[in-house]
Amino acid sequence: MPLAVYAGSFDPITNGHMDIIRRSLEVFDEVIVAIAVNEAKVPLFSTEERLELLKEIFKDEPRVRVEEFSGLLVDFARKMGSKVLVRGLRAVSDFEYEFQMAQMNQKLFPEIETLFLMTCQQYFYVSSRVVKEVARFGGNVQDLVPPQVSALLLHKFGGPNELR
């Protein structure tokens, strides 16, 4: 399989996301990490910050390309020449939403397939939302995100509280 798209807001990217990307590279020749731009959401990190951050994280992995997109994911995938979307699942609750989206995507672009990958057990509880909340209150998130993300969170919220 030559090319897959793994889309998300990645605000910020977590080790759970990293796990899905690494495992996708075992199946696909190239993975486009697509940062969704959603005007309805107010992200902690700007689109530009997320682009720079992900490009820095993957600078030594030529098979990962980082792009941004807005609008329908299937339109972006078609434009990039991909017929596969990779989606990460943490729990059954994720599956319901992701299954609906996969069905709608296939309705819009019948050639598209969605590959679901279960997040490794050690990251089942990790989400960008939870990471931001823990960091905001001074908790240490170094084991949950890449070092570059941890450094940016420290810059935005201040240092980790080692007593927590």
CB neighbourhood size of 14 (10 A): 25
pLDDT band, residue 159 (cuts 50/70/90): low
User: Catalytic site residues?
Assistant: 17, 41, 90, 128
User: Whole-angstrom Cα distance, residue 32 to residue 21?
Assistant: 9
DSSP 62-90: TTEEEEEE-S-HHHHHHHHT--EEEEEE-
Q: How confident is the model at residue 36 (pLDDT cuts 50, 70, 90)?
A: very high
Which has the closest alpha carbon to 20: 94, 106, 70, 77? 94
pLDDT digits (tens, 9 = 90+) for 60-81: 999 999 999 999 999 999 999 9
Residue whose C-alpha is closest to residue 48's, from 126, 145, 27, 56: 56
Strands (E), the chain: 3-8, 30-36, 64-69, 84-89, 113-118
Say what the pTM is.
0.92
41 vs 140, residue with greater confidence: 140
Q: Which domains does the chain have, with CATH numbers?
A: 3-125 (3.40.50.620)
Cis peptide before 2 (omega within 30 of 0): no
